[in-house]
């Protein structure tokens, strides 16, 4: 019997079938995840490290999200109370650590993201004074990510850089319907991100037609987590900026097209530029952080922004097929490099195309995480209850299976207006 490769389980399912998501079953599964988290993850300073990515503030987001979506009305009060308990401790942890302001900017690992989720939770609790306090904290961070190279090892990606900060602005704007920053400030951050990419690109000795490139700790990543795909997705999420600046719009589009025309191979995009330019050396990962399950969002956003050009949608279809083949990952149930992250790809495709096949595929991946094969053959991630590596992200995915027309990858909505 074949158990697939070391990275993933062999997909045991037919690739198409009836799209039936049992509300009863997936509600129970979602609640099982949440109750397991609440029971085993106390709100303590030891559990704060890693911000939204693997700390308790990410779990607070999951609880907020479940309340916001409204599929568990009988649990809202208990979820919101737990969310508040987590975020209050996470805020205190940020205060005590007192990091350098430029390091506090970080959306996925440090204060930035914690402030964003605090705003959302206090808003839900109708504590508008506290909400505004943390809104100001978040606004205050903008000044620290304005300098071109405000960090030493890459100032633009999603985890610690400007793209992450911009995603925080988008999330707040969308859920609170409040202007977070004046448009000139947002545009300046977008423009600085492009300048940074141009500057780094100009120093590279290769003749590819890509006008932008970025490095993070010396690696020229192409994917979502630390790479250009995530940065481009962020910039593509500010259509007002692109509409007002034709030059920037052109640079963004040329960069997306370079990824599509020159880096796309065998239904995937290599994890870094070096691998993309030297086939054979490539590590083709099927993760959100590196590879198919993440770059798909950049092409999806390009499809939505650039006049529904079918080339981008076709790329998404190919990436989704790769995820279907190789996305039952052994690294666990998370959204960063786990099965829920793969499952989100099919929910994205379902929203883009309305095709039942993708909802069926999402449901299959949602079910696989509850099989014996998975519990026996998957590894336990370092942070098994967290938003990006563990069950908190899984809970978001299971919730979204039940409301597929509204499904969104946590914190980084590709359908944002
Ligand atoms: Zn990952």
Task: Tell me the per-residue pLDDT of 59-105, one tens digit each, with 9 for 90 and over.
Answer: 999 999 999 999 999 999 999 999 999 999 999 999 999 999 999 99
Please say whether the beta carbons of 337 and 287 come within 8 A.
Answer: yes
pLDDT-derived band at 2, boundaries 50, 70, 90? very low
- Distance (angstroms) between ligand 1 centre and the Cα of 341 equals 9
Mean confidence (pLDDT) of the chain: 96
Portion of the chain with pLDDT greater than 90, in percent? 96
Residue 70 in 3-state DSSP?
coil
Question: If residue 84 lies in a helix (H) or strand (E), which one and from where to where?
Answer: helix 76-97
3-state secondary structure of 327: coil
pLDDT of residue 280: 76
- Across 178-224, the runs of DSSP E, i.e. the strands, are none
Distance 166 CA to ligand 1 centre (A): 20
Report d(CA 137, CA 119) in Å as an integer. 10
Q: Count how many Cα atoms sit within 13 Å of the Cα of residue 114 in the half-sphere of its side chain.
A: 27
Residue 13 C-alpha from the chain's centroid: 26
Question: 337: CA distance to ligand 1 center in Å?
Answer: 4
Residues 296 and 318: their CA atoms lie apart, in Å, by: 9
Distance 290 CA to ligand 1 centre (A): 7
Does position 373 have pLDDT exceeding 70, yes or no? Answer: yes
Beta bridge partners of 221: 272
State both tokens at 376. 């026996």
How far does the centroid of ligand 1 lie from the alpha carbon of residue 287, in Å?
6
* CA 288–ligand 1 middle distance (angstroms): 6
Task: Calculate how far, in angstroms, residue 332's C-alpha sits from the geometric centre of ligand 1.
Answer: 11
If you measure from the C-alpha of residue 364 to the centroid of ligand 1, how many angstroms do you get, rounded to a whole number?
Answer: 21
Residue labelled with tokens 């770059």: 295
pLDDT at position 144, please?
98
* Residue 334 Cα distances to 18, 69, 392, 395, angstroms: 25, 20, 8, 9
Q: Which residues pair with 219 in a beta bridge?
A: 216
* Tens digit of each residue's pLDDT (9 = 90 or more) over 259-314: 999 999 999 999 999 999 987 766 789 999 999 999 999 999 999 999 999 999 99
Please report the pLDDT score of residue 279 as a whole number: 78
H or E element: which one contains 269?
strand 268-269
pLDDT beyond 70 at 4: no
CA of 131 to the centre of ligand 1 (A): 31
Å from CA of 313 to ligand 1 middle: 24
Measured in Å, residue 292 CA sits from the centre of ligand 1 at 12
For tokens 């079910």, name the residue. Answer: 367
DSSP 379: P
Percent of the chain with pLDDT over 70: 98
Q: How far is the CA of 283 from the centre of ligand 1 (A)?
A: 14
Confidence band for 417, pLDDT divided at 50, 70 and 90: confident
Nearest to 384 by CA among 372, 399, 371, 369: 369
CA of 109 to the centre of ligand 1 (A): 14
Q: Note the Cα 382 to chain centre separation in Å.
A: 19
Distance CA(146)–CA(220), nearest Å, equals 22
Ligand 1 mean position to 289 CA, how many Å?
A: 4
Q: Is the pLDDT reported for residue 201 higher than 70?
A: yes
Place of tokens 């979602």: 30
CA of 94 from ligand 1 middle (Å) equals 24
List Cα–Cα distances, 357 to 11, 13, 15, 293, 350, in angstroms: 15, 12, 8, 17, 8
Position of tokens 């909802």?
359
The 10 Å Cβ neighbour count of residue 266 is 11
Predicted model pTM: 0.97
- Is the model's pLDDT at 1 over the cut of 80? no
Please write the tens of the pLDDT for every residue from 107-150: 999 999 999 999 999 999 999 999 999 999 999 999 999 999 99
74 C-alpha to ligand 1 centroid (Å): 33
- 77 Cα–ligand 1 center, Å: 32
Measured over the CA atoms of residue 230, residue 379, residue 366 and residue 394, the dihedral's sign is negative
Kindly state the tokens that stand for 271: 């994890």
CB 407 within 8 A of CB 344: yes
Instruction: Provide CB contacts within 8 A for 146, sequence distance 6+.
Output: 188, 189, 192
Could you tell me if 211 and 195 are in contact, meaning their C-beta atoms sit under 8 angstroms apart? Answer: no
Cβ–Cβ < 8 Å for 397, 335: yes
């Amino acid at each position: 019997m074949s158990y697939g490769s070391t990275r993933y389980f062999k997909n045991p399912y037919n690739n198409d079938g009836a799209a039936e998501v049992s509300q009863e079953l997936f509600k129970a599964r979602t609640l099982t995840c949440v109750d397991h988290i609440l029971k085993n993850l106390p709100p303590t300073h030891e559990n704060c490290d890693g911000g939204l990515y693997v700390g308790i503030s990410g779990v607070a987001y999951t609880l907020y999200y479940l309340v916001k979506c409204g599929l568990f009305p009988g649990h809202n009060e208990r979820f919101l109370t737990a969310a508040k308990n987590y975020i209050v401790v996470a805020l205190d942890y940020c205060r005590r650590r007192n990091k350098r302001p430029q390091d506090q900017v970080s959306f996925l690992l440090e204060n930035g993201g914690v402030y964003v989720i605090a705003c959302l939770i206090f808003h839900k609790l109708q504590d508008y004074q506290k909400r505004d306090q943390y809104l100001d904290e978040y606004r205050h961070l903008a000044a620290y990510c304005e300098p071109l190279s405000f960090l030493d090892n890459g100032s633009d990606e999603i985890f610690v850089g400007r793209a992450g900060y911009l995603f925080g602005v988008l999330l707040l704007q969308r859920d609170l319907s409040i202007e977070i920053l004046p448009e000139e400030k947002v545009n300046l951050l977008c423009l600085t991100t492009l300048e940074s990419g141009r500057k780094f690109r100009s120093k590279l000795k290769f003749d590819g037609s890509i006008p932008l490139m970025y490095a993070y700790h010396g690696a020229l990543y192409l994917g979502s987590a630390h790479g250009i795909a995530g940065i481009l997705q962020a910039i593509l999420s500010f259509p007002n900026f692109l509409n007002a600046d034709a030059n920037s719009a052109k640079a963004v589009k040329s960069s997306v097209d370079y990824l599509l025309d020159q880096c796309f191979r065998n239904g995937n995009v290599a994890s870094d530029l070096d691998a993309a330019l030297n086939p054979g050396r490539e590590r083709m990962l099927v993760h959100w952080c590196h590879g198919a399950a993440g770059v798909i969002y950049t092409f999806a956003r390009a499809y939505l922004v650039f006049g529904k050009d079918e080339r981008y949608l076709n790329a998404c279809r190919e990436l989704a097929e790769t995820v279907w083949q190789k996305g039952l990952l052994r690294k666990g149930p998370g959204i960063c490099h786990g099965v829920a992250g793969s499952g989100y790809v099919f929910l994205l495709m379902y929203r883009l195309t309305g095709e039942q096949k993708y909802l069926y595929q999402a449901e299959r991946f949602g079910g696989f995480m509850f099989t014996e094969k998975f519990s026996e053959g998957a590894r336990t991630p370092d942070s098994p209850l967290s938003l990006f590596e563990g069950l908190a992200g899984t809970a978001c995915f299971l919730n979204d299976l039940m409301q597929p027309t509204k499904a969104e990858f946590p914190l980084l909505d590709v359908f944002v207006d």
